Amino acid sequence: MEIVVKENSKNKFLFELKDVTHTFCNLLKTELWNDKHVKVATYSIDHPLVGMPRFIVETDGKETPQEALQDAVKRLKKINEKVRKDFSKELK
């Protein structure tokens, strides 16, 4: 996955994600909304077959959008690890 930064300011971060689908984008967007400092978290894909997801993350200024994004990814990693472990237990 590659991030292409389009706009980067104190409270707003606009970027594109290469090689990801709606599945990952919805997961990330939902997790960003769990952060009380995030005021905007959304994405769009111009064309479903060839478009790249374009994300917008805005915060209230108590943390940067990049910090909110990093925190959301860390939380998703923890959730993923728990699901993987629980699933592995069920297969044994």
Whose tokens are 């290469």? That residue is 18
Could you tell me the pTM of the whole model?
0.86
Structural domain boundaries in the chain: 2-91
Burial (CB count within 10 angstroms: exposed 0-12, middle 13-18, buried 19+), residue 41: buried
pLDDT at 48 over 80: no
Q: What does the alpha-carbon distance between residue 3 and residue 15 come to, in Å, rounded to a whole number?
A: 7
Provide the CATH topology of domain 2-91. Answer: Gyrase A; domain 2 (3.30.1360)
For the chain, what percent of residues have pLDDT higher than 70? 99
**Mind listing the pLDDT tens digit for each residue in 2-26?**
999 999 999 999 999 999 989 999 9
**Range 19-48 average pLDDT:** 94
**Interacting residues of 45 by C-beta distance below 8 A, sequence separation 6+:** 22, 25, 51, 52, 53, 54
